[in-house]
A and B are shown apart, each in its own frame.
Chain A
């Protein structure tokens, strides 16, 4: 309380000097008035009383001035004085000030840039109402830790947990063709159950949400995203009731979502759904417990704790096993739980963000060490100045504070430059960001980031100011003032500190370099991964045939049968094909099957394999090598025998050493599925889900035959692949016009090369690697500068000693070797500390590494060598200078 009062009083003196001045005047006047009154009461003449009182007081003006001095001499005045003095000394040493500020600008700039990233991605509130009450329903079973929800499960969650959840909603993503008004476009959509928006705590900005009855019937209504509303309706406020043609069907607009609305999956990455439609679960599927394709969110009811809600959900999931023993066999280990929506959304980005934060913290430490070293060296030079000031009456505390104020000034100046650096870096990041991170668009320098930079600058200034301030408070006056005393105790001590700092810098730089090296090596491995198909010279686009124009399977198969030869007829196109799921751009689902002639043991699960459907030219277009048998051919039509091509892992798993050709698979689980496919060929494995995917059994069905999924419908949404050496631009018009020659309402969606697809699939590791590598580069440079500074300073301090040594017969090269050895010792110490730390710390990034051991000896050895060489180069110049000392010249000047 007293301290608080003292500072408010100081602040008052600073801000209201006139009022405080008046108070003093009043106080003194009161004093005199009292004094005079007393004297008059004692029998004195009033004039005489006044005269003597004034004499005894001793001069009103004089004491008013003295009181003012006392007031100003406190706190602010000293601070202002220190600041002025600090600025002057910094101006007198422009070289030192510039180097220190630039170094700080690097460290603070990098930290601020990363903070602005973290601020935009991790600290931003979710755009949902009371996000703490929103839960994400997470289904898992053996091999699938984070799976979706099946329709029947959703209905159970919705209807049987009403006592703990106020809303349970599900949704599924899709894509629709939007026609009318110029070139048709393909938009991302989401089908939402009526309660989904309520569970998220979001209301449309205009209009209303879906009703339960619209949800059940899958009514022809839709909600627009803010972006699509602006684009298609020029943000007209009376949009409700207007119609849009999606997939050839007219739908009525019932509302517009708020601008920042995105479904949880789209918050961090990917483009948002532009059109929301009622989910409308197919009545045939209400008992479906096998197809998990729905995302589920639930809102905890008021007065119910999250733990209670989760417990109720888990109990229900366990009950599923009892109620439907066929659908949930024990060894499937089915389970459902709920996690905070927050964790679901931010979970995936947390690891990389932590890595970036740790990296930048290391860079900052190296920066601090470097500047501390600089400041210490300068403090040595200033020892006599400090001693002199101390002799003239400056207290030790005052000197220490003086040093601290200078450091803080440096920190603030560096921070100011750092904000500029951060501004440039974040601008670059956003522009260069190779993948779609919507939140990153807002990365920038805002008030919170500025506050962070300011706090950081001050604490950094405080940190590196600590050493010289402590030194100053222990300054040995006599020693420093002694004539000819070149190296005093104080400077020996600070020299030791500086060596320690250099060792620390090398250790920190090595940890960063090995992290960067590991990520780089891992990325190199990633790039070298053979995806199982040929990336080069393949262009791809997505085709989605709407129900309205293609009501039956006949129209769908005819479309592709006609389209593909026309594409192949284009000049420059070798071959074309289509596939339901494009590798490296989608994830495959799996399907159970039973091998004919191999009865399934009681209570065992049928085997499963990832599946997809292809048109005849697909294997050749993607350069998928056929190992045995034949590929899907034009003769594999719906009327002929069902065929399947399997991959080598499938063959090796189920027919190790045997011949799979001619064997037959019954598709589906335990039930009596009539669909049968005969194995006609074996192809190489394809890394489909990602380049790092482990080998899995895969099945390829003929597009024209496969009806098992999607209630007997042939796949209507396919990716076209075109092999051509022409560029994307050269191909575009031809491919588009060919598609339009069959159906002008189809958009040319996601038209890109397979190289683009692959690049996008490894964008995150590439981003992380580049960030960590640039930070490590900065640390590397700073560490080299740090050791150079220490060695150069040592040499300059010991010049006299070297002169004497030379005069006594030492050879110049001996001196050079001595200095070099000293540098090497420091480097070796730093490297061993850094190596030991790397061995431990690199395990923290093992999740981010592909095919590289966290303690990869080649990487660790390589970066150590790199750093050792750099340190030796940095020591060479000082060592050379030591050998060039001229003893005669030196002895003359000493």
Chain B
């Protein structure tokens, strides 16, 4: 079931990117840093896998990018959430919460 595990990881990464961009538009490295910070370094995906994910999300219409500048004035791509992405995030958050609550209940049952 390697495929589904990868799917799960992929889905989780997508969700985290969306969540991160919900706060403010950001460039790639910023997203990576923010995910690490927010998850207290528990979720450490390989940083490079962020970039295929960013293209995937763009293609689904959840995020879009524009040319911008980094804090040091270097040209970088800045990503932001689209309206569709916002809706997707809400839907995924809700379903994630449902699943995790259910899993919690099962695990806590004696």
Partner of B61, one of A2, A23, A24, A28: A2
A1-32 to B contact mask, C-beta < 8 Å, 1/0:
01101100110000000000001101110110
Contact A30 B82 (CB under 8 A): no
Partner of B29, one of A3, A31, A64, A67: A31
| B20 neighbours in A (Cβ, 8 Å) | none
CB of A891 to closest CB in B, whole Å: 45
| A75 neighbours in B (Cβ, 8 Å) | 59
Contact B55 A67 (CB under 8 A): yes
Query: Is A708 interfacial (CB 8 A cutoff)?
Result: no
Contact B64 A57 (CB under 8 A): no
Contact B58 A6 (CB under 8 A): yes
**CA separation between A10 and B59, bound complex, in Å?**
8
**Residues in A lying within 8 Å of B, measured CB to CB:** 2-3, 5-6, 9-10, 23-24, 26-28, 30-31, 34-35, 56-60, 62-64, 66-67, 69-71, 74-75
CB of A604 to closest CB in B, whole Å: 80
Contact B84 A2 (CB under 8 A): yes
Given A2-B61, A35-B47, decide whether A69 and B52 contact each other with a Cβ distance below 8 A: yes
Contact B58 A57 (CB under 8 A): no
| A60 neighbours in B (Cβ, 8 Å) | 48
Given A6-B59, A70-B59, decide whether A57 and B48 contact each other with a Cβ distance below 8 A: yes
Given A23-B77, A67-B55, decide whether A58 and B47 contact each other with a Cβ distance below 8 A: yes
Contact A58 B59 (CB under 8 A): no
Partner of B48, one of A23, A63, A69: A63
| B28 neighbours in A (Cβ, 8 Å) | 27-28, 30-31
**CA separation between A638 and B29, bound complex, in Å?**
112
| A58 neighbours in B (Cβ, 8 Å) | 46-49
| B64 neighbours in A (Cβ, 8 Å) | 2, 5-6, 9
**Residues in B lying within 8 Å of A, measured CB to CB:** 27-29, 32, 44, 46-49, 51-52, 54-56, 58-59, 61, 64, 70, 74-77, 82-84
| A31 neighbours in B (Cβ, 8 Å) | 28-29, 32, 47
Chain A CB within 10 A, most for which of B47, B64, B76, B83: B47
Q: A66-B49, A70-B55 are in contact. List 14 more A-B contacts (CB 8 A).
A: A2-B64, A5-B64, A6-B58, A6-B61, A6-B64, A10-B59, A27-B28, A28-B28, A31-B29, A58-B46, A67-B51, A67-B55, A70-B52, A74-B56
CB of A30 to closest CB in B, whole Å: 5
**CA separation between A432 and B55, bound complex, in Å?**
60
Chain A CB within 10 A, most for which of B28, B55, B56, B84: B55
| A35 neighbours in B (Cβ, 8 Å) | 29, 47
Contact B59 A67 (CB under 8 A): no
A393's nearest neighbour on chain B, judged by CB, is B3
CB of A695 to closest CB in B, whole Å: 74
A31's nearest neighbour on chain B, judged by CB, is B29
| B76 neighbours in A (Cβ, 8 Å) | 26-27, 30
| B49 neighbours in A (Cβ, 8 Å) | 58, 63, 66
Contact B56 A70 (CB under 8 A): yes
Can you give 5 contacting A-B residue pairs, CB < 8 Å? A30-B27, A63-B48, A63-B51, A67-B55, A75-B59
**CA separation between A71 and B65, bound complex, in Å?**
14
| A56 neighbours in B (Cβ, 8 Å) | 44, 46-47
CB of B76 to closest CB in A, whole Å: 5
Given A2-B82, A5-B64, A23-B77, decide whether A28 and B59 contact each other with a Cβ distance below 8 A: no
**CA separation between A62 and B51, bound complex, in Å?**
11
**CA separation between A60 and B75, bound complex, in Å?**
19
CB of A12 to closest CB in B, whole Å: 11
| A27 neighbours in B (Cβ, 8 Å) | 27-28, 51, 76-77
| B75 neighbours in A (Cβ, 8 Å) | 26
**CA separation between A58 and B48, bound complex, in Å?**
6
**CA separation between A377 and B29, bound complex, in Å?**
54
CB of B75 to closest CB in A, whole Å: 8
Secondary structure type dominating chain B contacts: helix
Shortest 6 CB-CB contacts between residues of A and residues of B: A58-B46, A63-B48, A74-B59, A66-B52, A70-B55, A31-B29
| B83 neighbours in A (Cβ, 8 Å) | 2
| B82 neighbours in A (Cβ, 8 Å) | 2
**CA separation between A523 and B20, bound complex, in Å?**
78
**CA separation between A71 and B54, bound complex, in Å?**
10
| A70 neighbours in B (Cβ, 8 Å) | 52, 55-56, 59
| B47 neighbours in A (Cβ, 8 Å) | 31, 35, 56-58
CB of B106 to closest CB in A, whole Å: 29
Chain A CB within 10 A, most for which of B48, B54, B84: B48
Given A30-B70, A30-B76, decide whether A71 and B29 contact each other with a Cβ distance below 8 A: no
Partner of B46, one of A57, A67, A71: A57
**CA separation between A58 and B53, bound complex, in Å?**
14
Contact A28 B48 (CB under 8 A): yes
| B32 neighbours in A (Cβ, 8 Å) | 31
CB of A520 to closest CB in B, whole Å: 57
Contact A67 B61 (CB under 8 A): no
| A74 neighbours in B (Cβ, 8 Å) | 55-56, 59
**CA separation between A69 and B29, bound complex, in Å?**
21
**CA separation between A57 and B48, bound complex, in Å?**
5
Contact A30 B52 (CB under 8 A): no
**CA separation between A101 and B54, bound complex, in Å?**
43
CB of B34 to closest CB in A, whole Å: 13
| B48 neighbours in A (Cβ, 8 Å) | 28, 57-60, 62-63
Partner of A67, one of B44, B52, B77, B84: B52
**CA separation between A182 and B66, bound complex, in Å?**
78
Chain B CB within 10 A, most for which of A34, A58, A74: A34
CB of B50 to closest CB in A, whole Å: 8
Contact A24 B51 (CB under 8 A): yes
CB of A72 to closest CB in B, whole Å: 10
| B54 neighbours in A (Cβ, 8 Å) | 67
Chain B CB within 10 A, most for which of A2, A10, A69, A74: A2
A2's nearest neighbour on chain B, judged by CB, is B82
CB of A573 to closest CB in B, whole Å: 86
CB of A782 to closest CB in B, whole Å: 42
**CA separation between A63 and B56, bound complex, in Å?**
13
| A2 neighbours in B (Cβ, 8 Å) | 61, 64, 82-84
| B55 neighbours in A (Cβ, 8 Å) | 67, 70-71, 74
**CA separation between A5 and B64, bound complex, in Å?**
8
Given A23-B77, A30-B74, A56-B46, decide whether A3 and B51 contact each other with a Cβ distance below 8 A: no
Given A2-B64, A27-B77, decide whether A34 and B52 contact each other with a Cβ distance below 8 A: no
**CA separation between A59 and B47, bound complex, in Å?**
9
**CA separation between A24 and B77, bound complex, in Å?**
9
| B84 neighbours in A (Cβ, 8 Å) | 2
**CA separation between A474 and B32, bound complex, in Å?**
41
**CA separation between A58 and B49, bound complex, in Å?**
8
**CA separation between A795 and B76, bound complex, in Å?**
66
| B51 neighbours in A (Cβ, 8 Å) | 24, 27-28, 63-64, 66-67
CB of B43 to closest CB in A, whole Å: 13
B85's nearest neighbour on chain A, judged by CB, is A2
Chain B CB within 10 A, most for which of A31, A57, A59, A69: A31
**CA separation between A28 and B83, bound complex, in Å?**
27
A71's nearest neighbour on chain B, judged by CB, is B55
| A67 neighbours in B (Cβ, 8 Å) | 51-52, 54-55
| B61 neighbours in A (Cβ, 8 Å) | 2-3, 6
**CA separation between A9 and B56, bound complex, in Å?**
12
A75's nearest neighbour on chain B, judged by CB, is B59
CB of B73 to closest CB in A, whole Å: 12
CB of B66 to closest CB in A, whole Å: 9
| A69 neighbours in B (Cβ, 8 Å) | 52
**CA separation between A748 and B83, bound complex, in Å?**
80
**CA separation between A70 and B53, bound complex, in Å?**
8
CB of A762 to closest CB in B, whole Å: 62
**CA separation between A590 and B73, bound complex, in Å?**
93
**CA separation between A814 and B106, bound complex, in Å?**
65
**CA separation between A34 and B71, bound complex, in Å?**
10
